[in-house]
Amino acid sequence: MAELPISTAAVATAVTHRTCPLCEAACGLTVTTGPGLDDIAVRGDADDPFSRGYLCPKGVALGQLHSDPDRLRAPLVRRGSTWTEVGWDEALAEAGRLLAPLLREHGPDSVAVYLGNPVVHNLGLGLYSRVLIQALGTGYRFSASTVDQMPKQVACGLMYGTELSVTIPDLDRTDYLLVLGANPMVSNGSLLTAPDLPGRLRALRRRGGRLVVVDPRRTRTADVADEHLTIRPGTDALLLAGIARTLLEQGLADPGQAAPHLSGLAELREALRPFTPEAVSVATRIPAGTVLRLARELAAAPSAAVYGRIGTTTTAFGTAASWLVDVVNTLTGNLDRPGGVMWPQPAAGSPNTTGRPGRGRGVRVPGSRRTRVRGLASVFGEFPAAALAEEIDTPSADGARLRGLVTVAGNPVLSTPNSARLGSALASLDAMVSVDAYLNETTRHADVVLPAASPLARSHYDLVFTAFSVRDQAHYSPPSLPLRPGDLDEAEVLLRLTCAALGGGTTPDQLDDLTAEQTARGIAADPSSPAYRRDPAELLAAVAHRTRQERLLDLMLRGGPYGDGFGARPEGLSLAALEAAPHGLDLGPLRPRLPGVLRTPSGKVELAPPQLLAEAARLARHLAELTAAPDGGLLLVGRRQLRSNNSWMHNVPLLAGGSNGCTLQLNPADAQRLGIAAGQRVTVRSRVGELEAEAELAAGLMPGVVSLPHGWGHSDPATRGATAARSPGVNSNLLTDEEPLDPLSGTAVLNGIPVRVQPSDEGIRSE
């Protein structure tokens, strides 16, 4: 196929400011374009009140991402193994021709939707993927959440009442930060939106604060910490239970200002009894004295925040660990206090700023629907990503199975467990349509690929990360570049795709009007909104000069907690106010929000909901098993790399090579025992698969633990990415297992995978 020429039409030099869409730090960027359309310079925006000029190598690489010749520029339709570039009308007609009959003949549940991580970094995709899912009517909704943060959402949902009520470390004011299973020096933070994490961690230590890191690897974050503790993978919930029990049993617990709002303290104390420091020390390999000391330090610190991320959530006890993080924060008096953990108050889109403050319906966990094959429960309306392959490749007796799939900004073939099985399953679908920037390991299986325009050519507002931010802030980014002729904004792509899948009869404008009407009605019915009880038609009239995501965003901002109430509070926020503040608006440090933030039916913080007590009981059984028979085999964990972004930025030359080696790291003592030398090829096997990688000896790795980064494995010749293919690496999710899940959240176990490792040139041992 011939590449479409990239337009280099001369345009005037222009400077715009925008939020970086590449990770959760949400740095402000200054983008200078022109005179050629692909003349792009990206630097940190020194006037952004939140990021103050900070950016990382990925932010700089946005210019190369924009110009990457392998990034898709036109819709593709596949016939056999041949791709043809076609126009939008033809591509969408083909998508409709494939999807509409499946929906009609086999019902909405025959077509699944998978939403990948970049959806939450893309305003149009975030808003209109909901429209797509609703219109298709499918219950088969999957996303990267169940290979990521879902356990935290479940735990906080049960404790505080909404799936977005995640507590955030008050990083800039805390005196003590205990980090478990996160490497913010490299990841730049997650469920912790804070540009310049390295600077903020340095500032913590400069003001006399203490940083303690719990991680089986000596990470860059461990390098800058006061203390690094290694832990046996998968056992953080036990460590946290040991700390929480110590606080309760030694009279160290003092919930402080949160005390009047708590429910379930007695049940919690009872549930934590088995987790003595001595008992958990055997399983975690953290000495009992250290467990005691951590409890005392956390209780004694003027303020402290415990923070857990990927290494705590993507384990078999992800929800329990996430819950116990908040339990420890509560027992030490750090819930909802400056320097502890707090709730942001986002300007738009948060369920804990709508409805009646202080009480609500709470969350329903487990959800009401079940997957067909394994009977796995839905969680907040979606199914576990680990169940996607089996729902395709395992038909019921009556022939029911997933026959169609729409992926939006996702690469589950590299990102979800047992991905070899998923790859084969995708090849057996009747229809697959992808909206993506690249022809990659997943989208290569699609029948139709609808390209994403350059990230610089879209508008943006962070509906999601304002809910996880260490300061309240609001930043609207207009497009930095016009769409190229022939490009479509992704909101438009999803609206047109929805109409095509429905088989005609509806237009994108009608769907969009319907969505705006629903939004306006929701605002008028929301007692927290400054536009409560207004006429929805009046609200719509006030934003009639806008369309698509700008209209929806303006409605949400004006009807939101800081909103101008469509005139009721003229000094309040609107999209126009954000447009007048191109560097973004700082809305101040986080403020205490108890009890108004709660949406539990009791109006209390639920420390011991029955679902979590059941998890504590399961954890106690696990502790007993581990104590009776400590496991001694090798466990695989992941790692993220600074110049990498999950599976999809390896084709950008600025980020290729360097520190990004896709090596199997192992401790020198393990290497010696296994007869493995540095640089040697090794074979790694798990229950579900095997792969080969180069061994790298890493003294900073705990004995018994090996590490491989995820998102690699770009050797499929059917993909398009010349730079990525030169250093392809291997796909670590060939080894991760789709069977074990964290039960309440349906989240996959991606860390602590039992593996065997041997030199590749040795014959297969009969072990």
Contact footprint for ligand SF4 (CB under 6 A): 20, 22-23, 25-27, 55-56, 58-59, 188, 195
Which residue in 424, 339, 392, 409 sits closest to 688, CA to CA?
Answer: 424
Q: State both tokens at 767.
A: 């072990």
- Sign for the CA dihedral angle at 625, 630, 635, 641 comes to positive
481, HSE (Cβ side, Cα atoms, 13 Å): 31
Query: Binding pattern to ligand MGD, positions 635-674, x when CB under 6 A?
Result: --xxxxxx-xxxxx--------------------------
Write 42-47 long-range contacts (CB < 8 A, 24+): 45/17, 45/583, 47/17, 47/583
- Is residue 696 a contact partner of residue 659, using CB atoms and an 8 Å limit? no
- What's the min distance (Å) between Cβ of 586 and Mo ion? 26
Distance CA 706, CA 726 (A): 25
Give the one entry of ligand SF4, Mo ion, ligand MGD, none that residue 736 binds, where binding means its C-beta sits below a cut-off of 5 to 8 angstroms depending on kind.
ligand MGD
Nearer to Mo ion among residue 98 and residue 150 (C-beta): 150
Nearer to ligand SF4 among residue 23 and residue 463 (C-beta): 23
Nearer to ligand MGD among residue 381 and residue 759 (C-beta): 381
- Residue 436 contacts ligand MGD per CB under 6 A: yes
- What's the min distance (Å) between Cβ of 718 and Mo ion? 26
Query: What is the number of other CB atoms lying within 10 angstroms of the CB of residue 89?
Result: 11
Which of 157, 209, 234, 404: binder of ligand MGD (CB under 6 A)?
234
Which helix (H) or strand (E) is 352 found in, with range? none
- Is residue 19 a contact partner of residue 585, using CB atoms and an 8 Å limit? no
Helix, strand or coil for residue 168?
strand
- Is residue 634 a contact partner of residue 670, using CB atoms and an 8 Å limit? yes
> Looking at 145-153, 324-332, 486-494, 677-685, which segment touches Mo ion (CB under 5 A)?
145-153
Write 202-211 long-range contacts (CB < 8 A, 24+): 203/172, 204/171, 204/174, 204/177, 208/175, 209/174, 209/175, 209/176, 209/177, 210/175, 210/176, 210/177, 210/297, 210/301, 211/177, 211/179
- What's the min distance (Å) between Cβ of 179 and ligand SF4? 17
Helix, strand or coil for residue 166?
coil
Give the one entry of ligand SF4, ligand MGD, Mo ion, none that residue 411 binds, where binding means its C-beta sits below a cut-off of 5 to 8 angstroms depending on kind.
ligand MGD
Which helix (H) or strand (E) is 706 found in, with range? strand 705-707
Which of 48, 148, 170, 196: binder of Mo ion (CB under 5 A)?
148
- Residue 122 contacts ligand MGD per CB under 6 A: yes
Q: Which residues are paired to 496 by β-bridges? A: none
Which of 19, 33, 153, 187: binder of ligand MGD (CB under 6 A)?
187
- Sign for the CA dihedral angle at 26, 32, 37, 40 comes to negative
Q: State both tokens at 639.
A: 């790692």
Give the one entry of Mo ion, ligand SF4, ligand MGD, none that residue 729 binds, where binding means its C-beta sits below a cut-off of 5 to 8 angstroms depending on kind.
none
> Looking at 92-100, 114-122, 331-339, 398-406, which segment touches ligand MGD (CB under 6 A)?
114-122
Distance CA 723, CA 716 (A): 13
Nearer to ligand MGD among residue 265 and residue 327 (C-beta): 327
Query: Binding pattern to ligand MGD, positions 486-525, x when CB under 6 A?
Result: ----x-----------------------------------
> Looking at 19-27, 142-150, 257-265, 457-465, which segment touches Mo ion (CB under 5 A)?
142-150
- What's the min distance (Å) between Cβ of 182 and ligand MGD? 4
Peptide bond preceding 366 in cis form (omega within 30 of 0): yes
Give the one entry of Mo ion, ligand SF4, ligand MGD, none that residue 22 binds, where binding means its C-beta sits below a cut-off of 5 to 8 angstroms depending on kind.
ligand SF4
- Residue 311 contacts ligand MGD per CB under 6 A: yes
Nearer to ligand MGD among residue 439 and residue 573 (C-beta): 439
- Residue 284 contacts ligand MGD per CB under 6 A: no
Give the one entry of Mo ion, ligand SF4, ligand MGD, none that residue 187 binds, where binding means its C-beta sits below a cut-off of 5 to 8 angstroms depending on kind.
ligand MGD
Give the one entry of ligand MGD, ligand SF4, Mo ion, none that residue 573 binds, where binding means its C-beta sits below a cut-off of 5 to 8 angstroms depending on kind.
none
Q: Print the SS3 string covering 70-82.
A: CCCCCCEEEECCE
Nearer to Mo ion among residue 314 and residue 329 (C-beta): 314
Beta strands in 482-609 (DSSP E): 585-589, 605-606
Distance CA 543, CA 519 (A): 12
Give the one entry of Mo ion, ligand SF4, ligand MGD, none that residue 129 binds, where binding means its C-beta sits below a cut-off of 5 to 8 angstroms depending on kind.
none
Give the one entry of ligand SF4, Mo ion, ligand MGD, none that residue 180 binds, where binding means its C-beta sits below a cut-off of 5 to 8 angstroms depending on kind.
ligand MGD
Distance CA 77, CA 72 (A): 12
Nearer to ligand MGD among residue 140 and residue 566 (C-beta): 140
- What's the min distance (Å) between Cβ of 586 and ligand SF4? 17
Query: What is the number of other CB atoms lying within 10 angstroms of the CB of residue 440?
Result: 28
- What's the min distance (Å) between Cβ of 200 and ligand SF4? 12
Nearest to ligand SF4 by Cβ — which residue? 59
- What's the min distance (Å) between Cβ of 339 and Mo ion? 27
Q: State both tokens at 752.
A: 């602590």
Give the one entry of ligand MGD, ligand SF4, Mo ion, none that residue 64 binds, where binding means its C-beta sits below a cut-off of 5 to 8 angstroms depending on kind.
none
Phi, psi of 169 (to 5 degrees): -60, 130
Q: State both tokens at 6.
A: 């990239």
- Residue 559 contacts ligand MGD per CB under 6 A: no
Which helix (H) or strand (E) is 103 found in, with range? helix 88-106
Specify the pairing of strand 227-229 against strand 210-214.
Answer: parallel
Give the one entry of ligand MGD, ligand SF4, Mo ion, none that residue 59 binds, where binding means its C-beta sits below a cut-off of 5 to 8 angstroms depending on kind.
ligand SF4
- Residue 148 contacts ligand MGD per CB under 6 A: yes
Q: Which residues are paired to 81 by β-bridges? A: none
Query: What is the number of other CB atoms lying within 10 angstroms of the CB of residue 544?
Result: 10
Task: Give residues 21-60 in contact with ligand MGD (rule: CB under 6 A).
Answer: 23
Phi, psi of 551 (to 5 degrees): -65, -45
Q: Tell the residue number behind the tokens 């438009």, with chain if given.
A: 492
Nearer to ligand SF4 among residue 25 and residue 555 (C-beta): 25
Q: How many helices (H) and strands (E) does the chain have?
A: 25, 30
- What's the min distance (Å) between Cβ of 696 and ligand SF4? 25
- What's the min distance (Å) between Cβ of 753 and ligand MGD? 8
Amino acid residing at 486? G
- What's the min distance (Å) between Cβ of 258 and ligand MGD? 26
CA 663 to chain centre: 24
Query: Binding pattern to ligand MGD, positions 711-750, x when CB under 6 A?
Result: x--------------------xx--x-------------x
- What's the min distance (Å) between Cβ of 187 and Mo ion? 9
Residues in CB range of 212: below 8 A, 6 or more apart: 176, 177, 178, 179, 225, 226, 227, 228, 229, 294, 297
Q: List interacting residues with Mo ion (CB under 5 A).
A: 148
Q: List interacting residues with ligand MGD (CB under 6 A).
A: 23, 116-118, 122, 144, 147-148, 180-184, 186-188, 190, 214-217, 219, 231, 233-234, 236, 309-312, 315, 408-412, 415, 435-438, 440, 452, 455, 490, 637-642, 644-648, 710-711, 732-733, 736, 750-752
